[in-house]
A and B are shown apart, each in its own frame.
Chain A
């Protein structure tokens, strides 16, 4: 479970987060939806403990990210916004490296890596170097390294950008499977259709604040719009100067 309460963060003259509070529950896919520059990445970085908020806190399974970042990071898998791969390692070595950083060793590590490779259906590319991978293959490696330690919480930052239909499907199936296992999935995006299709709950944030929270259907109902896209536009449109 991931909970943020009253997160505030300012960079020089820009206030990126203005008292952001939301919750992502276990067994649910929570979408963090907002236009570019809404503060999504800053929010996620606070959860990883890479950024210290000025006030407020981010907690993962009731552990404060700025107080015990290492304990928090053990409980999360991260699919980052920009994922760079080590191009001279094979997909298997790559995933094994991050398994090692999570404290897995020896046979346990081998088994965990093989499990992920099977789950993501990537046996055909497992022993090739990642240097020449396509975007979809790269995504699989990045997903593999995010879930190899079987984290209770999975955080994905704009995961479906640049993916083809097949890759998107693999991603979606994986997320549904993890959700069925009772894991907490937090998913940031600026693409409404994707969020509407995947998420149980949506948190819409604009300019560092939550403006609406609920299931896609609830949000449509609340705004009186038929499509989720219209609802989204209406919800964020009240803010001045926000462009999609």
Chain B
């Protein structure tokens, strides 16, 4: 019976490889993720590394030339015609000098729309520069009065970052792994639809089911074909990630990124059961649909679930022991641990793979039963 499986699988693969729509879908998700992330990182790094000049409105600059110079050292300038100022207003009062000399409080106003998030980092740079100037003046005054400036800062914080370079990379590169997982769910989608709802739309389903072939072999071979595409998409993106990130100066963020061949092979192995699961889930949905379009609608609704799960786990870092062995989340953990350079609990990995495969097998049984039912096949 193995030969029947091969016959159907080979036919589905030939069919899918000749279908530009399926190929494009598989390739585009694989390319799209890593490249988009690389571009995003380049922007972030550029922002974080080079402190850009900030231009703000400064009213009353003439009253406090020393403060303005200090701000200038911190690359905060008054806006002019060439460099338009942001909507941040620094107002220095007329009595600045007078109050400074008599050591009275000076009220400096920073006026801005604080709900405007794009200006947030500039506002905080301005504020921290002002705080710094405040501390400098204060310590000068104390020194003049013969008191050590240490008196007003009893506690010094010594930050020691214990994050390994890999762990810091994992924080950021976790988002890239989200795209690898999504590639699994999207690359094989067209092949799955074409082999199920497409078969029905072409009026070839009934004839296929009337062949002397166990329905379970048909279902498994079709799932395997879609799964091959799903895995192909994920493999492509896993291979692309290190290449794409060669061009991203991650070291400027203190991130050391490396992905060995062994890491990549491990990830691919872990993703095999997930590819099978994703494909049979798609077949389950689209065998119920009457046409390609209908199936696409259903599938995009159903595919929202694993994607939502991936995003939820990635961004909330929600922890629960069950996540270690459930489909999607268990694979997500292995990918994260691998790029984070952490030890992978292989027992859990096997558990996750086992449960994913068990769910897959159950779905194969359900789809087989569906295809043996007159109601589903003929829509009676």
Q: Which of A84, A102, A105 contacts B207 (CB 8 A)?
A: A84
Does B213 count as interface, using CB distance less than 8 angstroms?
yes
CA distance A73 to B19 in the complex (A): 30
| Residues 258-284 of chain B, each 1 if its beta carbon lies under 8 Å from chain A, else 0 | 000000000000000000000000000
Kindly supply a per-residue 1/0 record for chain A positions 89-116, scoring 1 wherever the CB is within 8 Å of any chain B CB and 0 otherwise: 1000100011011110100000000000
Structural contact, B11 and A11, CB atoms closer than 8 A: no
Which residues of chain B come closer than 8 Å to A45, judged between CB atoms?
206, 378
Q: Is the CB–CB distance between A52 and B211 below 8 Å?
A: no
Name which residue of chain B comes closest to A145, CB basis: B207
Interface of B is mostly: helix
Do B213 and A97 touch across chains, with their CB atoms under 8 A apart?
no
Q: What distance in Å separates the Cβ of A108 from its nearest Cβ neighbour in chain B? A: 12
Quick check: is A88 within 8 A (CB to CB) of the other chain? yes
Nearest chain-A residue to B19 (Cβ)?
A: A88
A24 within 8 A of B: no
A78 cross-chain contacts in B, Cβ below 8 A: 207, 210
Please report the C-alpha to C-alpha distance between residue A121 and residue B73 in the assembled complex, in whole angstroms.
89
Q: Is the CB of B14 within 8 A of A101?
A: no
Question: Contact: A89 with B202, CB < 8 Å?
Answer: no
The complex places the Cα of A52 from the Cα of B373 at a distance, in Å, of: 10
Residues of A within 8 A of B210 (CB): 48-50, 73, 78, 80
Shortest CB-to-CB span from A208 to chain B, Å, is 15
Distance (Å) between the CB of A88 and the closest chain B CB?
4
Residue of B nearest to A44 (CB): B210
Q: How far is the CA of A84 from the CA of B200 in the complex (A)?
A: 9
Q: How far is the CB of A58 from chain B (nearest CB, A)?
A: 13
Q: Is A74 an interface residue (CB 8 A)?
A: yes
A93-B207 CB under 8 A given contacts A11-B380, A100-B4: no
Contact across chains for A70 and B213 when beta carbons are under 8 A apart: yes
Q: Tell me the minimal C-beta distance from A127 to chain B in angstroms.
A: 14
Beta-carbon contact of B14 and A51 below 8 Å:
no
Chain A residues in 8 Å Cβ range of B213: 70, 101
With A and B bound together, what is the CA distance between A214 and B148 in angstroms? 122
CB contact between B374 and one of A51, A83, A86, A102 (< 8 Å): that residue: A51
Q: With the chains together, A84 CA to B203 CA distance in Å?
A: 5
User: B186-225: which have CB < 8 Å to A?
Assistant: 199, 201-207, 209-214
B1-36 Cβ-contact flags toward A at 8 Å (1 or 0): 001100110010011001100000000000000000
* Most chain B CB neighbours (cut-off 10 Å) among A70, A74, A86, A93: A86
Check if B3 sits within 8 Å of A85, measured CB to CB. no
The listed residue (A52, A85, A86) touching B11 by CB distance below 8 A is A86
Shortest CB-to-CB span from B141 to chain A, Å, is 84
Q: Are A84 and B202 in contact (CB under 8 A)?
A: yes
The reply on B370 being an interface residue by CB < 8 A is no
B9 CB to nearest A CB, Å: 11
Assess whether B149 is interfacial by the CB under 8 Å rule: no
Q: How long is the Cα–Cα vector from A85 to B15 in the complex, in angstroms?
A: 12
A97 and B11 in contact, given A70-B214, A85-B202 (Cβ under 8 angstroms): yes
The smallest C-beta distance from B283 to any residue of chain A, in angstroms, reads 17
A238–B252 alpha-carbon span in the complex (Å):
91
Interface residue total, chain A, C-beta cutoff 8 A: 29
Bitwise, A25-56 to B at CB < 8 A (1) or not (0) is 00000000000000000000100111110000
Q: Is B85 part of the binding interface, using a Cβ–Cβ cutoff of 8 Å?
A: no
- Are B206 and A89 interface neighbours, CB within 8 A? no
Q: Across the two chains, which residue of chain B brings its CB closest to A52?
A: B374
A93 proximity list for chain B (CB < 8 A) = 11, 14
CB < 8 Å: which of B15, B199, B207, B374 contacts A80? B207
CB neighbours of A71 from chain B (8 A)? 212
Contact present for A101 and B4 (CB under 8 Å): yes
How distant is A221 from chain B, measured CB to nearest CB, in Å? 37
Q: B-facing mask of A141-156, CB < 8 A → 1, else 0? A: 0000000000000000
Enumerate chain A residues within 8 angstroms of B11, measured Cβ to Cβ: 86, 89, 93, 97, 100
Determine the distance from Cα of A82 to Cα of B11 in the docked complex, in whole angstroms.
21
* With A87-B202, A101-B211, A101-B212: A50-B374 Cβ-Cβ less than 8 Å: yes
Which residues of the partner chain A approach B201 to less than 8 Å between Cβ atoms? 84
- B303 adjacent to chain A (CB < 8 Å): no
* Choice from B4, B15, B209, B212 contacting A86 with Cβ under 8 Å: B15
B377 within 8 A of A: yes
Q: Which residues of A contact B14 (CB under 8 A)?
A: 88-89, 93
Chain A residues whose C-beta falls within 8 Å of the C-beta of B18 in the assembled complex: 88
Determine if B377 and A83 form an interchain contact, defined as CB atoms under 8 angstroms apart.
Answer: no
User: Which residues of A are at the interface with B, using a C-beta cutoff of 8 A?
Assistant: 11, 45, 48-52, 70-71, 73-74, 78, 80, 82-89, 93, 97-98, 100-103, 105
Instruction: List 12 contacting pairs A-B, 8 Å CB cutoff, sorted by A.
Output: A11-B380, A45-B378, A51-B374, A51-B378, A70-B214, A84-B203, A84-B204, A84-B207, A100-B4, A101-B213, A102-B212, A105-B3
Leading 7 A-B pairs by shortest Cβ distance: A84-B202, A84-B204, A100-B7, A84-B203, A73-B212, A82-B203, A88-B18
